[in-house]
Structure 1
Amino acid sequence: MGEADSGSGRDRVAVVRLTLTDFRNYAHLRLDLDPRPVVLTGANGAGKTNLLEAVSYLTAGRGMRGAQLDSVIRLGAEAFAVAATISRPIGPDEPGEIDIGTGYRRGDSGRVARVNHEPAPAVGTLAELVRALWLTPSMDGLFTGPASDRRRFLDRLVLTLDPGHASRVGDFEKAMRQRNRLLEDQRPDARWLDGIEQAMAELAVAVATARAQAMARLTDALNERAGGVFPDPDIAIVGDFEATLDGRAAVDVEAEYRAALQGARRRDAAAGRTLLGPHRCDLAVAHRARNVPAALASTGEQKGLLIALILAHARLVREASGGVAPLLLLDEVAAHLDDMRRAALFAEILALGSQAWMTGTDRALFTDIAADSQGFEVANGALSAI
């Protein structure tokens, strides 16, 4: 067993009951669990990843796949629901439980959320109750793909430390869309533009500051455990707007950005979008030992860098949450690791005390963590305990 007591559940948030209704290939499923890591094995297409995706909807955002909500509803149904009983520490020695749920009906504007069977004011409320990080095969191209993918990854990391971050990002993007629409008019209302740009300036500084603070803390977490089995990443946020922060007073940066937006109205109108702001930044990641950008590292090295980032951030979230480990959703994470790195990953999960959800087609890949986890075989939308 690892450094943490993987059976107690007192040092983590854990799903102890998961109920799905018309979610992907599951017409109805109830899964009762304990706080230990969860291993899901089965053939491709059996529904393993769907279960991880369902768990990812227990927090804020668009889920680990970023899918359109209509596509998540089971074929032939009109709505889906995901509900869970969450075990979480509420005191030094006593874990508590809370019931949360979310769902969506075709034609609605978005997901709804419930907490202890009462409507929540917003889906963002879930981010205050459940913190989750995930790693999926589609993220293997994170370092070579568009900057927008890395920004979403960055914002997911920030959200697990700062539950209000998602609403600030959303409010900034909403204000920016309003500005873009106004600029389509030949004679936009200048006073309305002034007000929108003022709001954008305040939100831009708040968003960029939260990102910068999170990355500084993550850098410290990475440095504390440098030289391990997985390659050490160097991280930085790069962007023209971010360069204007650099220790300056927020009010000065807000005034400068507001003036820049005002001066760029004609240029942005011609471009059809806002060309300066925190929505244009990128997350730069480098392989420290080789001193090369992650995009130029090998496929295996890129996977290792991603795992190192996720594990370091999980440690950071646990520290920031008073010792409460986050959920980890690791889809097909073990398939392309050698024996040494696979064992190191499992040891780290147990040391974190995280209820990690892991999937794979080969049960033998999880031998090193079998005694400290709960295993299920997934087939045709049904689960059987191993």
Structure 2
Amino acid sequence: MADAAPRVVRLTRLALTNFRNYSAARFDAEASHIVFAGPNGAGKTNLLEAISLLSPGRGLRRATYAQMARQDAGPETGWTIHARVTKDGEESAIGTGFTPFTTSRTVRIDGEDARPDDLSERMRILWLTPAMDGLFTGAAADRRRFIDRLALALFPAHGRRANAYDRAMRQRNRMFEDGVFDAKWFAAVEREMAEHAAAISQARFELIAKLNAAQAVRAAASRDFPQAVVSVVGDVGEAHERRFADFLEKVRERDRAAGRAITGPHRADLEVIHVEKNMPAALASTGEQKALLIGIILGHAALVTRMVGETPVLLLDEVAAHLDPGRRAALYDTLDALGAQTFMTGTDQSLFTALGDRADRFHVEGGKVAPVTGLG
């Protein structure tokens, strides 16, 4: 979207019922920065998880919906999340919830039934959690989920394509297991896999190209967080779907022996290079890896703002804990420049002193969320 000013998105109210450790909780906030501070285990991350469920998917913890219900409320307890969101002042009401003995959650937007995918039209939500600190050295599956989550913020259909690919791949795997040899059946399933694989790969590669460009722009403007160059390896590439379908036919017996598809977008990995040190991120120090990850998220937030034409909502869990005061202040200033609304958690309000009066602050403890005044 060209040079038009981005639409400003703000979550102004959140209300929870029987969600995690909250029997009922509500807060109102309109500031660019919202801080939740309180002791460990108080439920700060639970609030961010609730906000993350106002986007497609299973949220920032990827828990089952049943696990999100308040555990001491009994086995038949569901949960609900209600929110009010403004976009350039125009308000929407969003709700999602889960009822026991079902497998999916419900979504309502402005009183009408909707799909989880429709939530992207109201907000693009990005997050960074302590569980992601080991991203560069951990399992490839975590890095795939990470890059696909970034892609989803730009291409809302990406999640549907990934799910469709997984369904077709599982069907092909079951055919191996059941001893099916009919070439026509396999060809039909492999064409479906190839169609979705090509779309998944195209979205990933387009994201990577634009993200690297955004990272370069961000790094040129500020050296507070190191620049990363990211790439996807082991994917099917931007090959035409027909070529991938032909490939699946050629390796069919190899995959039959393995009992699964060995090659495809489900086996891709993310590689990250620390530009200033010209080294893989996996070899960087723990502090450098954290700074690289923050830099990627900041670059992605700027990219979403430019491409979508609206500011995203950022969820930064314990982001300030391992940053020195200078880098914390730089982070808050960068977030200001982005214009995105940011929800942050920490054990102590002092971690956010550099925000001054730019933040709405809340104390979280014992399943309660209470506004804090007089710390600006």
Answer yes or no: is 1:114 the counterpart of 2:113: no
Write the letter of the residue equivalent to 1:382.
Answer: K
Q: Deviations over 1:38-60 (max 9, x none)?
A: 00000001110000000000000
Tell me the secondary structure at the aligned position of residue 101 of structure 1.
strand
Structure 1 stretches of 4+ moved >4 Å: none
Q: Identify if the C-alpha distance between structure 1 residues 373 and 85 changes in structure 2 by more than 3 Å, giving closer, same or farther.
A: same
Task: Tell me if structure 2 keeps the 8 A contact 1:11–1:353.
Answer: no
CA distance in 1, matches of 2:32, 2:121: 22
**Matched residue SS, 1:276:** coil
The residue identity in structure 1 corresponding to 2:242 is A
Task: Specify the alignment match of 1:279 in structure 2.
Answer: 266
For 1:4, the equivalent position in structure 2 comes to: none
Shift of 1:180: 0.7
Shift of 1:276: 1.1
Which stretch shifts more, 226-235 or 201-210? 226-235
Residue 342 in 1 paired to residue 328 in 2?
yes
Query: Per-residue displacement from partner, 1:60-80 (whole Å, max 9, x unpaired)?
Result: 011011112111100124211
Give the corresponding residue for 1:102.
Answer: 96
**1:71 aligns with one of 37, 46, 67:** 67
Contact 1:183 1:265 in 2 (8 A): no
Q: CA deviation at 1:183?
A: 1.4
- Mapping 1:289-308, distance limit 5 Å: 289-308=276-295
1:141 aligned onto 2:127 = no
> 2:233 aligns to what?
238
1:3 match: none
> Offset at 1:383?
1.3
Residue 106 of structure 1 and its aligned partner are, at CA, apart by 2.0
2:362, 2:371 within 8 Å by CA — same for their partners in 1? yes
Q: Deviations along 1:168-216, whole A, 9 cap, x unmatched?
A: 1111111111111111122343322211111111111011001100110
**Which 5+ residue runs of structure 2 have no aligned equivalent?**
1-5
1:366 and 2:352 correspond = yes
Distance 2:51 2:96 in 1: 10
Residue number in structure 2 paired with 1:14: 10
Indicate the residue corresponding to 1:26 in structure 2.
22
What amino acid is aligned across from residue 199 of structure 1 in structure 2?
E
Deviation digits for residues 121-142 of structure 1, max 9, x if unmatched?
x211112221011000010000
Tell me, yes or no, if the aligned pair for 1:15 and 1:35 is still in contact at 8 Å. no
Greater mean alpha carbon deviation, residues 30-39 or residues 171-180: 30-39
Question: What is the CA-CA distance between 1:226 and the residue it aligns to?
Answer: 1.8
Match of 2:3 in 1: none
Gaps of 5+ in 1: 1-9, 90-94
Conserved? CA contact 2:126–2:301, under 8 Å:
yes
Residues 93, 111 of structure 2: 8 Å contact kept? yes
Give 2:189's aligned residue.
196
TM-score by length of 2: 0.94
Match of 2:180 in 1: 187
Task: Return the alpha-carbon distance in structure 1 between the equivalents of residues 163 and 277 of structure 2.
Answer: 37
Cα deviation for residue 11 of structure 1 reads: 4.3
What is aligned with 2:87? 88
The 1-side partners of 2:152 and 2:199 are apart by 13
CA distance in 1, matches of 2:146, 2:126: 10
* Identical aligned residues as a percent: 48
The answer to whether the 8 Å contact 1:11/1:325 transfers is yes
For residues 333 and 187 of structure 1, the distance between their equivalents in structure 2, rounded to whole angstroms, comes to 51
SS in 2 for 1:169: helix
Equivalent in the alignment of 1:215: 208
CA distance in 1, matches of 2:142, 2:176: 27
Which residue of 2 is the match for residue 255 of structure 1?
242
The residue number in structure 2 matching 1:49 is 45
Structure 1 stretch displaced more, 308-317 or 128-137 = 128-137
Distance change in 2, residues 1:262/1:86 (3 Å):
same
Q: What secondary structure, in the 3-state scheme, does the structure 2 residue paired with 1:333 have?
A: coil
- Once residues 317 and 264 of structure 2 are traced to their aligned partners in structure 1, the CA distance between those partners, rounded to angstroms, is 33
State the secondary structure of the residue aligned to 1:55. helix
Among 150, 153, 156, the residue aligned to 1:157: 150
Cα RMSD after superposing both structures: 1.3
Aligned length: 362
Amino acid at match of 1:298: S
